[in-house]
Chain A
Amino acid sequence: MTAGVFFALRAAVVGFPGRPCLGPIDLAVAPGEIVALVGASGAGKSTALRLLAGLEHPSAGSVHRPDGTRTGFVFQSPTLMPWADARTNVALPLKLSGVPAAEARLCAEQALAAVGLGDRARARPRQLSGGMAMRVSLARALAVGPDLLLLDEPFAALDSITRRALIEDLHRLWAARSVAMVFVTHDVEEAAYLAGRVVVLSAADGRGMADIPMPGPLPRPEGWRRDPAFREAVEVVADALGRSMAATA
Chain B
Amino acid sequence: MKRLAEALPALVLSAALLVAWEVACRLLAVPVYFLPPPSAVAVALVENAPVLAGSALQTFWMALKALLVAIVGGGGLAVLVSLSARAERAVSPLAVTLQVTPVVAIAPLVLIWAGLDHADRAVTALAAAVAFFPVFSGVLTGLKSADPDLERLFDLHGASRLQRLWRLRLPSALPFALEGIRVAAGLAIVGAVVAEFVSGSGATQGLAWRLLEAGNRLRTAELLAALACLAAMGLILNAVTTALQRRALRNRL
- Interface residues of A, Cβ cutoff 8 Å to B: 50, 53-55, 71, 73, 75-77, 79, 81-84, 92-93, 95-97, 124, 126, 144
- Once A83-B174, A124-B251, A126-B252 are accepted as A-B contacts, the answer to whether A73 and B167 lie under 8 Å apart by CB is no
CA A79 – CA B168 in complex, angstroms? 12
Contact between B251 and A97, CB atoms less than 8 A apart: no
Which single member of B153, B168, B174, B251 contacts A93 (CB below 8 Å)?
A: B153
For the complex, is B171 an interface residue (Cβ under 8 Å from A)?
yes
Please determine whether B253 and A82 come into contact, CB atoms closer than 8 angstroms.
yes
Set B149, B153, B156, B168: member contacting A77, Cβ < 8 A:
B149
What CA separation (Å) do A83 and B168 show in the bound complex? 10
Smallest CB-CB A-B distances: 9 pairs:
A96-B157, A79-B149, A75-B149, A82-B252, A93-B157, A96-B159, A83-B171, A126-B253, A79-B150
Whether a CB of chain A sits under 8 angstroms from the CB of B155 is: yes
Can you add 5 more A-B contacts, CB < 8 Å, to A53-B156, A95-B163, A96-B159? A81-B167, A81-B171, A82-B252, A82-B253, A96-B158
- The answer on a CB contact under 8 Å between A83 and B252 is yes
A82: chain B residues at CB < 8 Å are 251-253
**Chain A neighbourhood of B47, CB < 8 A:** none
Question: Given A71, A76, A83, A95, which contacts B156 in the complex, CB threshold below 8 Å?
Answer: A71
Q: Which residues of A contact B252 (CB under 8 A)?
A: 82-83, 124, 126
Q: Which residues of A contact B167 (CB under 8 A)?
A: 81, 92, 95-96
Interchain CB contact under 8 A, B171 and A73:
no
Given A79-B150, A82-B253, A55-B168 contact (CB < 8 Å)? no
Residues in B with CB closer than 8 Å to A96 are 154, 157-159, 163, 167
B225-253 CB contact bits vs A (8 Å, 1 = yes)? 00000000000000000000000000111
Residues of B within 8 A of A81 (CB): 150, 167-168, 171
Contacts A81-B171, A83-B252; A97 near B158 (Cβ below 8 A) = yes
Inside 8 A of B163's CB, which chain A residues have their CB?
Answer: 95-96
Query: Would you give 21 A-B contacts (Cβ < 8 Å), ordered by A?
Result: A53-B156, A55-B152, A55-B155, A73-B152, A73-B153, A76-B149, A79-B153, A81-B150, A81-B167, A82-B252, A83-B252, A92-B157, A92-B167, A93-B153, A96-B154, A96-B158, A96-B159, A96-B163, A97-B158, A126-B251, A144-B157
- Bound together, the chains give a CA A205 to CA B168 distance in angstroms of 35
Flag whether B147 is at the interface (Cβ < 8 A).
yes
Q: Size of chain B's interface in residues, with CB distance under 8 A?
A: 19
Q: CA of A126 to CA of B154 in the docked complex: distance in angstroms?
A: 22
Residues of B within 8 A of A (CB): 147, 149-150, 152-159, 163, 167-168, 171, 174, 251-253
Residues of A within 8 A of B154 (CB): 96
Give the distance to chain A from B63, nearest Cβ to Cβ, in Å.
Answer: 30
* A55-B156, A97-B158, A144-B157 given; A83·B147 CB < 8 A: no
- A75→B149 CA distance, assembly (Å): 7
Q: How far is A31 from B106 in the complex, measured between Cα atoms in Å?
A: 68
Measured between beta carbons, the chain B residues less than 8 angstroms from A126 are: 251-253
Of chain B, the residue at the smallest CB distance from A77 is B149
In the complex, chain B residues whose CB is within 8 Å of the CB of A77: 149
- In the bound complex, residues from chain A placing their C-beta under 8 Å from that of B174 are 83
C-alpha gap A55/B171 in the complex (Å): 23
CB distance from B159 to the nearest CB of A (A): 5
Q: How far is the CA of A55 from the CA of B163 in the complex (A)?
A: 18
| Interchain CB contact under 8 A, A97 and B152 | no
Q: Which residues of B contact A79 (CB under 8 A)?
A: 147, 149-150, 153
Once the chains are docked, how many angstroms separate the CA of A82 from the CA of B168?
Answer: 11
Complex Cα gap A76–B149 (Å): 9
Task: With both chains docked as a complex, state the minimum distance between the C-beta of A103 and any C-beta of chain B, in angstroms.
Answer: 16
Compute how far the CA of A115 lies from the CA of B153 in the bound complex, rounded to whole angstroms: 20
Q: What is the bound-complex CA distance between A53 and B156, given in angstroms?
A: 7
CA distance A71 to B156 in the complex (A): 8
Asked, given contacts A55-B152, A77-B149, whether A83 binds B251 with beta carbons under 8 Å apart, the answer is yes
Once bound together, how far apart are the Cα atoms of A53 and B153, in whole Å? 10
Residues of B within 8 A of A93 (CB): 153, 156-157
CB distance from B48 to the nearest CB of A (A): 47
Which of A83, A97, A124 has the most chain B CB atoms inside 10 A of its CB? A83
Residue of B149, B154, B158 contacting most chain A CB atoms (<10 Å): B149
